[in-house]
Structure formats: structure tokens, C-alpha cells
Amino acid sequence: MKFDEKLLSALPWEVPDHHQRQAAHLRSLAAEATTVKVKARLLREAREHEDIARGDAEPASASEA
């Protein structure tokens, strides 16, 4: 099977809707979290992905480049 080089080089934050999907996934995990600390961390990370999706922030590795 042959893959398109552009697709292979795409980083996760370049994939459409990546951050919206990650935020939804993290919120789903937070709903099932059994400790306050884990739930808070998952919700914080979900908000970070939502901020990136809205364009309020950019992925950490992209800002370091």
C-alpha cells in the first residue's frame, strides 16, 4: 500500500477537528474519573484543546518551533 507523503508528514494538530475531538474525548474521560485531581486535570486539558480549536492558543510544540 502506498501512502501520500503529505498525509504521513501531518502532525496531529494539523488534522482537521483534532482538537475538538480531543476535547470531547477528555471530557468523556473526566465524566468517569474517580478522583478530583484526575478529573480536574482532564477538564483542564479539554479546555486547552478547545482554546486551540478556537484559535486562542497554539499547540505547545508548534510555539516552540
Identify which of 60, 61, 47 has the alpha carbon closest to the alpha carbon of residue 19: 47
Instruction: Tell me the pLDDT band of 13, cut-offs 50, 70 and 90.
Output: low
pLDDT at 65: 41
Number of structural domains (the chain) is: 1
Q: Are 24 and 50 a contacting pair, CB within 8 Å?
A: no
Q: Residue 40 is part of which domain span?
A: 17-56
Residue 5 inside a domain? The answer is no
Residue 10 inside a domain? The answer is no
Residue 2 inside a domain? The answer is no
Residue 62 inside a domain? The answer is no
Residue 43 inside a domain? The answer is yes
Residue 9 inside a domain? The answer is no
Q: Could you give the 3-state DSSP secondary structure of residue 35?
A: coil
User: What is the tens place of the pLDDT at every residue in 18-61?
Assistant: 889 999 999 999 999 999 999 999 999 999 999 988 887 766 65
Whether 7 has a pLDDT exceeding 70, the answer reads no
